[in-house]
Amino acid sequence: MNPDFRSWVLATVTLLVVFLILADISELEEEIGSTGGSGTIRSAAGNVHSKSNRAELILNNSSTSSTAGRSNESIKYRTKPVPYIWRHNQTLALKIRKQILHFLDAERDISVLKGTLKPGDIIHYVFDRDSTMNISKNLYELLPRTSPLKNKHFKTCAIVGNSGILLNSGCGKEIDSHDFVIRCNLAPVEEYAKDVGTKTNLVTMNPSVVQRAFEDLVNDTWKDKFLQRLKSLNESILWIPAFMAKGGEERVEWVNDLIIKHHINVHTAYPSLRLLHAVRGYWLTNKVHIKRPTTGILMYTLATRFCNRIYLYGFWPFPRDLHQNPVKYHYYDSLKYGYTSQAGPHAMPLEFKALKNLHLQGALKLNVGECEAAT
């Protein structure tokens, strides 16, 4: 091959590669730029692999004219999918568990227990220290005597968030295959079963859900809807953060009253007063400063005590996926992403970045695309 021609080919191909790389970076910046802090979010969103991730450009420099003994003097470029095979890093998972248990007692901190409080006790809210609440008779009655997860251990656990990234994922069957399934904020499951599954062993319920999803039980229709959702839990653990922030005490009382009055078959749990501080303490030692941890980070931190392998689904804090497709904030409602503005209490992109890094190291598996069994 003519040396001048070969040099021209090399220069052209090099420029093409640079162009494609810059185009890819520009695309991702545009995709997530509207969420604020694009540099941090770009780092968070990158490198999380799923079944539907894009192909990578592979440079296969198989031969040059100066290399002896090679019959082919061409440089071949080809685009092909690069499979990413996630492997569980058991050594790292055990190390993280040991570190976390320096900060919290997962069995005790998952709920305040009977005997630690009594009816009439006055306590300060975790985030509103100047405000107090009284321990009611109903709340005390529903406090567990022992941790609902005492002496429990599971091979695999699924923690299911509520992001619209779950829609059309086909992850329902995979989620239900896990030994223990944790869900967030009493999210509906039956009508989305193909994508989110139905199995529920523990579900969180922020008091604000009563207002946002069940219209504060203003009439019998909404009260019946709420009761049906509670009844569908059927022996699951209902995890209610009753002591976190002022404003939800009345709703907590409504829920407690309904559980007792209608003999709802659930195991109630109320996270301890020190849980949030313990969780923040652990993550701070890993240089992740989280003011108010979301349910995802809380549940992952707790689950390290009970689960060998932890799989996360439905955690994606960006309005578009890696292919520029719009993603709903919740898979089941029309809540907008403004809810997670910088004025809000949570730093979801920061938490996502922390979870992504653990995924890449094999400590947990973070699914942000279709599941393998999806058809």
Task: Indicate if the pLDDT at residue 370 is higher than 60.
Answer: yes
Among the listed residues 143, 150, 181, the one whose alpha carbon sits nearest the alpha carbon of residue 273: 143
Domains and CATH numbers, the chain: 3-35+50-80 (no CATH), 90-367 (3.90.1480.20)
pLDDT the model gives residue 23: 41
Region 262-281: mean pLDDT is: 92
Structure tokens at 293: 């941890």
Among the listed residues 352, 316, 356, 322, the one whose alpha carbon sits nearest the alpha carbon of residue 337: 316
Residue type, 306: F
Task: Indicate if the pLDDT at residue 117 is higher than 70.
Answer: yes
The 10s digit of each residue's pLDDT in 339-365 is 444 444 557 888 999 999 999 999 999
pLDDT band at 283; cut points 50, 70, 90: very high
Region 213-230: mean pLDDT is: 95
Residue with tokens 């976390």: 100
Instruction: Report the distance separating Cα 58 and Cα 70, nearest Å.
Output: 20
Instruction: Report the distance separating Cα 262 and Cα 217, nearest Å.
Output: 15
In this predicted structure, which of 118-127, 258-267, 302-311 has the lowest mean pLDDT?
118-127
Question: What residues are labeled active site?
Answer: 346
In this predicted structure, which of 18-22, 60-64, 311-315 has the lowest mean pLDDT?
60-64
Residue with tokens 């009345």: 250
* Strand intervals (E) in 166-324: 180-183, 202-204, 237-239, 267-269, 307-313
pLDDT the model gives residue 13: 46
Instruction: Report the distance separating Cα 100 and Cα 117, nearest Å.
Output: 26
Structure tokens at 102: 């320096």
Task: Indicate if the pLDDT at residue 105 is higher than 80.
Answer: yes
The 10s digit of each residue's pLDDT in 234-253 is 999 999 998 887 878 899 99
Among the listed residues 259, 309, 301, the one whose alpha carbon sits nearest the alpha carbon of residue 276: 301
Region 60-68: mean pLDDT is: 32
The 10s digit of each residue's pLDDT in 134-181 is 999 999 999 999 999 999 999 999 999 999 999 999 999 999 999 999
pLDDT band at 53; cut points 50, 70, 90: very low
In this predicted structure, which of 82-86, 125-129, 159-163 has the lowest mean pLDDT?
82-86
pLDDT the model gives residue 164: 96
The number of C-alpha atoms within 13 Å of 222 and in the hemisphere containing its C-beta is 13
Q: Mean pLDDT, the chain, as a whole number?
A: 80
pLDDT band at 55; cut points 50, 70, 90: very low
The 10s digit of each residue's pLDDT in 5-19 is 556 555 554 454 444
Residue, of 314 and 290, whose pLDDT is higher: 314
pLDDT the model gives residue 7: 60
Task: Indicate if the pLDDT at residue 375 is higher than 80.
Answer: no
Going from the C-alpha of 158 to that of each of 89, 178, 348, the distances in angstroms are 17, 6, 19
pLDDT band at 287; cut points 50, 70, 90: confident
Residues 6 or more apart in contact with residue 307 via CB below 8 angstroms: 153, 154, 155, 156, 157, 179, 180
Query: Which range in 39-43, 166-170, 210-214, 322-326 is most confidently predicted, on average pLDDT?
Result: 166-170
pLDDT exceeding 70 applies to what percent of the chain? 74
